[in-house]
Amino acid sequence: MSKLRVGVLISGNGSNLQALIDACQDTNFPAEIAVVISNKADAFGLQRAREKGIPALVIDHKEFDTRAQFDDGLQHLLDHHLVDAVLLAGFMRLLSPGFVQGWHNKLLNIHPSLLPSFKGVHAHEEAIAAGVRISGCSVHFVRAEMDVGPIIVQAAVPVLAGDTPASLGARVLAQEHQCYPLALRWLAEGRLSVVDEKVTIAGAAEAEGALMQPVS
């Protein structure tokens, strides 16, 4: 059976990209990374990809007059590499509604909070300020609105007394590295379906057993 060909979009360090690369190194994993694309030439994630022989490309958003034109250029690269699904892994650009709709239920994102709480780029700061006892991460299908879409998998971590955004973020990131490959596996195996904007996972009992549990 052919593997799902994935394009990963990044803007920075690419630690979630590395987790995906590591998962795809397993010959039994049902997906492969066809291309990594960054809007920043100095993104370290590009080096991570190149070290594994994965095509790593740069498309500078500053060279385009509009977001739609940038997205058209991005689409061209994804089409050229025969991509079946797109994963956002720290990609710090808002995508146009047309692009998102074109990848409907084939475009995933990972966010460092238990959505729908604490959307945006300051999730850890906001979680600590709100005094919540539990935070975590979410992998979800992307919709046109930022950090909105059917949730595939979440992992919970405690918010500890004295936590800083950095210390909380480190614990959440460890769970992100488990959740994203898991969500990709389910997608590649054709186990995910969306009904009324809620995700159903085929083989629900097995899937629930694989979900991350709260960690210390």
The whole-angstrom separation of Cα 29 and Cα 185 is 7
pLDDT tens for residues 47-57? 999 999 999 99
pLDDT at 14: 97
The whole-angstrom separation of Cα 8 and Cα 204 is 27
The whole-angstrom separation of Cα 28 and Cα 3 is 10
Share the mean pLDDT of the chain.
94
Q: Are residues 89 and 159 in the same domain?
A: no
Q: Are residues 16 and 59 in the same domain?
A: yes
Q: How many CA atoms lie within 13 A of 134 on its CB side?
A: 9
- Domain range holding 55? 1-103
CATH number for the domain spanning 206: value is: 3.40.50.170
Q: Tally the domains of the chain.
A: 2
Distance from first CA to last CA of the chain, Å, rounded?
Answer: 39
Residue that is last in its domain, among 76, 103, 130: 103
Q: Are residues 130 and 74 in the same domain?
A: no
Confidence of residue 205 (pLDDT cuts 50, 70, 90): low
Q: Are residues 206 and 116 in the same domain?
A: yes
Question: Which residues are known to be catalytic?
Answer: 111
Residue that is last in its domain, among 103, 138, 170: 103
Q: Are residues 126 and 93 in the same domain?
A: no
Q: Are residues 201 and 120 in the same domain?
A: yes
Confidence of residue 214 (pLDDT cuts 50, 70, 90): very low
Q: What percent of the chain has pLDDT over 90?
A: 93
Contacts of range 66-72, beta carbons closer than 8 Å, 24 or more positions apart: 67/93, 67/94, 67/95, 67/96, 68/96, 68/98, 70/39, 71/95, 71/96, 71/98, 71/99
Whole-structure pTM over 0.85, yes or no? yes
Confidence of residue 203 (pLDDT cuts 50, 70, 90): confident
Q: Are residues 52 and 121 in the same domain?
A: no
Q: Are residues 123 and 174 in the same domain?
A: yes
Residue that is last in its domain, among 56, 71, 103: 103
Q: Are residues 114 and 199 in the same domain?
A: yes
The whole-angstrom separation of Cα 183 and Cα 153 is 7
